[in-house]
């Protein structure tokens, strides 16, 4: 009793108060943390959590639109769409992301490390947005994934459309290819309406007309279970397919050109000189655009980009070559228009032309003797044109060259076109800080030296000669239409300019081109047909100076230093309807290498024309006229 009384007497109220204050502060701090957390969850993260909660039951899924189809001029499908099965992962639907990836990789024989890397590059995505981890898995892998779906929570399989390039590498440089939009493209104003996973045109027509071909994606409001599996579709907005495109190309003629050109590298262009429409464009070597549909591997891309023959280059618009003897026609036009010569002007060719301390040789060592302009073009006499070049000078040559469209882009509906080069005194002074030399004009007069043209420029200039002097803008696209066939936009013929040549000048040039193919000793005799309707010109463009001895040239010069072979022609002689250009890189002589290819193409064109005419006649014969309805009595 005495002890209890002592403990009560010893009690200190101040000590209790201090403990109470500490406890009060602890409780207050705990309530502060609780209230702060509630405020954070309700105010700061409220919208996000509300979305997450809703996404546990209802989600909005994008439905990709079908990209527009591409047809040739006869309605043959060049680019179609086909279904692809893509596997995506929604990280929010699984607690073991790496485990799911490893199981999926094991089932489908994939590299789990690579799949995990894909997830690490998508840190800033929105919640519940799927991450693509494999594309175009095929039906066998699809069956495996669906069978093991319970062990793969968070994985979803989508059916998406992918491009199918029906003719593969044959038309690749014109049609191009598609791919997933890059981070750099997303930062471009042109793509401001695009999303991070959109498929866009990367090259060719696919790129040039991407906004027309793309279409508008739709969406689905779906109900899902706890594993993210679709249970029910609550609503759907249908996607709007892209617009269809019709080109001027003829797939049958494209096949003929592709098969005819068996050389390593070069290009073939077929044009309608009456309006500038391109009927065929071949560039070799080529690539298979289907490789890019679902993402190309680093190994394949490396083999394409490092190939010395540059298969990704469209040589028809970006290849720049000396025109060689095909340029002589335009030198002749300049000399005739300036009154320096007439058709009867003769010049002696003994095989050489001297200027200062330099000697320029003719391709024919013994010379051509005394020749007029007609024979000079027919037999491609170099010495004759050396004299014309000396008479004209570099500035006159440049002036007339630009009139024919050389030195500037044609603005065809493709990216990557080059402008070529028409050299002048001023150009050389600015480029090399050196004055122009007289010998350079002599080289220029036969299409050598600094002068560069693209194949498209060259065939357009020859088409202008064929049609009487009209320079058309090359046309590759005919029209853009809806899926129902309604025309949205039509690409009409565009006359760029009329070349100011006298009618007599054109007649002289056209007659000489006809003679080059059909007369004795013509350099283009390989293309002579029984109809005698083809006119054309050969060309051999030097890459470097060559030995004089032809056998030594072929034996010793490496492939990359050999001459380029060119041939350009049109047919028929009157009212021409087709022009053909062939460039064979490092192919040697135009007459022996390029002309035979052009021969097969011209023959193929007229065979197709005869075939189509026969079908038209047959179709007409199959339709019997009906004048009335007859019964048993013939009334």
pLDDT at residue 616 in the model: 67
CB-count exposure of residue 207 (10 Å: 0-12, 13-18, 19+): middle
pLDDT band, residue 551 (cuts 50/70/90): very low
568-590 pLDDT tens trace:
999 999 999 999 999 999 998 88
Residue 40 reports pLDDT greater than 70? yes
pLDDT band, residue 120 (cuts 50/70/90): low
Angle at 585 between CA 580 and CA 589, to 5 degrees: 75
170-207 pLDDT tens trace:
999 999 999 988 888 888 888 888 887 788 999 999 99
Asked whether 274 and 577 are in contact (CB, 8 A), the reply is yes
**Cα gap 148→517, rounded to integer Å:** 70
Parse the chain into domains and list their residue ranges.
58-247, 251-285+313-615
pLDDT band, residue 28 (cuts 50/70/90): confident
| Mean per-residue pLDDT, 226-244 | 78
Same fold, 58-247 and 251-285+313-615: no
Residue 465 reports pLDDT greater than 90? yes
Please say if 277 is a catalytic residue.
no
CATH class held by domain 58-247: alpha beta
pLDDT band, residue 49 (cuts 50/70/90): low
**Cα gap 201→577, rounded to integer Å:** 33
57-70 pLDDT tens trace:
677 777 788 999 99
Residue scoring higher pLDDT (416 or 98): 416
pLDDT at residue 55 in the model: 54
pLDDT band, residue 42 (cuts 50/70/90): confident
**Cα gap 498→30, rounded to integer Å:** 89
Residue 615 reports pLDDT greater than 90? no
Residue 627 reports pLDDT greater than 50? no
CB-CB neighbours of 559 under 10 Å: 10
The residues, any chain, with a CB within 8 Å of residue 376's CB and separated by 6 or more, are: 328, 332, 347, 368, 384, 385
Residue 631 reports pLDDT greater than 60? no
Closest CA to 360 of 453, 441, 450: 441
264-275 pLDDT tens trace:
999 999 999 999
pLDDT band, residue 629 (cuts 50/70/90): very low
Residue scoring higher pLDDT (242 or 184): 242
Mean pLDDT of the chain: 86
- Which CATH number is correct for 251-285+313-615, 3.40.710.10, 3.40.50.620, 3.30.1650.10, 3.40.50.300? 3.40.710.10
443-454 pLDDT tens trace:
999 999 999 999
Element (H, E) at 536: strand 535-541
Catalytic residue among 325, 401, 443, 463: 325
Residue scoring higher pLDDT (143 or 478): 478
**Cα gap 314→290, rounded to integer Å:** 17
pLDDT band, residue 137 (cuts 50/70/90): confident
Residue 123 reports pLDDT greater than 80? no
| Mean per-residue pLDDT, 598-606 | 96
Kindly state the DSSP code that residue 365 receives in the 8-state scheme.
T
**Cα gap 105→88, rounded to integer Å:** 13
Element (H, E) at 564: strand 564-571
The alpha carbon of 246 is separated from its chain's Cα centroid by a whole number of angstroms, namely: 16
Asked whether 444 and 450 are in contact (CB, 8 A), the reply is yes
């Amino acid at each position: 009793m005495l002890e209890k009384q002592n403990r009560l007497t010893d009690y200190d109220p101040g000590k209790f108060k201090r403990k109470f204050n500490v406890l009060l502060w602890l409780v207050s701090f705990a309530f502060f943390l609780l209230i702060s957390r509630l405020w954070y969850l309700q105010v700061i993260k409220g919208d996000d959590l509300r979305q997450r909660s809703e996404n546990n039951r209802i989600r909005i899924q994008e439905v990709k639109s079908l990209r527009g189809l591409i047809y040739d001029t006869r309605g043959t499908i060049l680019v179609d769409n086909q279904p692809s099965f893509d596997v995506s992962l929604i990280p929010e639907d699984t607690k073991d992301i790496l485990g799911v990836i490893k199981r999926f990789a094991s089932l489908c024989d994939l590299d789990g490390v690579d799949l995990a890397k894909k997830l690490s590059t998508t840190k800033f995505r929105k919640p519940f947005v799927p991450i693509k981890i494999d594309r175009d898995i095929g039906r066998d892998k699809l069956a495996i994934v669906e069978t093991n779906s319970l062990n793969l929570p968070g994985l979803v399989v989508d059916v998406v459309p992918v491009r199918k390039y029906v003719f593969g590498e044959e038309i690749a440089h014109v049609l191009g290819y598609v791919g997933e939009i890059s981070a750099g493209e997303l930062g471009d104003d042109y793509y401001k309406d695009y999303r991070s996973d959109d498929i866009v045109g990367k090259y060719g027509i696919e790129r040039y007309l991407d906004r027309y071909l793309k279409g508008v994606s739709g969406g689905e409001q779906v109900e899902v279970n706890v594993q993210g599996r679709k249970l029910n579709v609550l609503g759907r907005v249908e996607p709007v397919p892209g617009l269809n495109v019709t080109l001027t190309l003829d797939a049958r003629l494209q096949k003929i050109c592709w098969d005819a050109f068996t050389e390593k590298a070069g290009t073939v262009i077929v044009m309608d000189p009456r309006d500038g429409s391109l009927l065929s464009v071949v560039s070799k070597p080529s690539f298979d655009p289907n490789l890019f549909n679902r993402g190309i591997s680093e190994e394949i891309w490396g083999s394409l980009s490092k190939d010395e023959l540059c298969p990704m280059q469209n040589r028809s618009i970006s290849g720049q070559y000396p025109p060689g003897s095909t340029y002589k026609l335009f030198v002749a036009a300049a000399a005739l228009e300036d009154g320096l010569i007439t058709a009867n002007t003769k010049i002696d060719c003994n095989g050489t032309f001297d200027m200062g301390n330099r000697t320029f040789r003719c391709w024919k060592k013994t010379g051509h003797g005394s020749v007029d302009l007609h024979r000079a073009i027919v037999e491609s006499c170099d010495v004759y044109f050396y004299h014309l070049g000396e008479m004209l000078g570099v500035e006159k040559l440049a002036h007339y060259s630009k009139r024919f469209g050389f030195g500037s882009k044609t603005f065809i509906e493709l990216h990557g076109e080059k402008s070529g080069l028409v050299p002048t005194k001023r150009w050389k002074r600015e480029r090399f800080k050196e004055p122009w030399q007289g010998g350079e004009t002599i080289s220029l007069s036969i299409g050598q030296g600094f002068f560069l043209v693209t194949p498209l420029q060259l065939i357009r200039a020859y088409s202008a000669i064929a049609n009487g002097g009209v320079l058309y803008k090359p046309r590759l696209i005919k029209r853009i239409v809806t899926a129902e066939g309604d025309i949205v936009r039509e690409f009409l013929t565009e006359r760029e300019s009329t070349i100011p040549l006298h009618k007599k000048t054109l007649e002289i040039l056209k007659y000489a081109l006809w003679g080059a193919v059909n007369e004795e000793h013509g350099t283009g005799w390989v293309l002579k047909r029984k109809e005698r309707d083809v006119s054309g010109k050969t060309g051999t463009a030097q890459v470097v100076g060559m030995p004089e001895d032809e056998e030594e040239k072929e034996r010793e010069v490496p492939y990359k230093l050999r001459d380029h072979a060119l041939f350009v022609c049109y047919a028929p002689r009157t009212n021409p309807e087709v022009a053909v250009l062939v460039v064979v890189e490092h192919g040697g002589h135009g007459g022996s290498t390029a002309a035979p290819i052009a021969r097969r193409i011209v023959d193929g064109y007229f065979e197709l024309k005869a075939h189509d005419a026969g079908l038209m006649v047959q179709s007409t014969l199959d339709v019997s006229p009906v004048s009335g309805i007859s019964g048993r009595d013939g009334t």
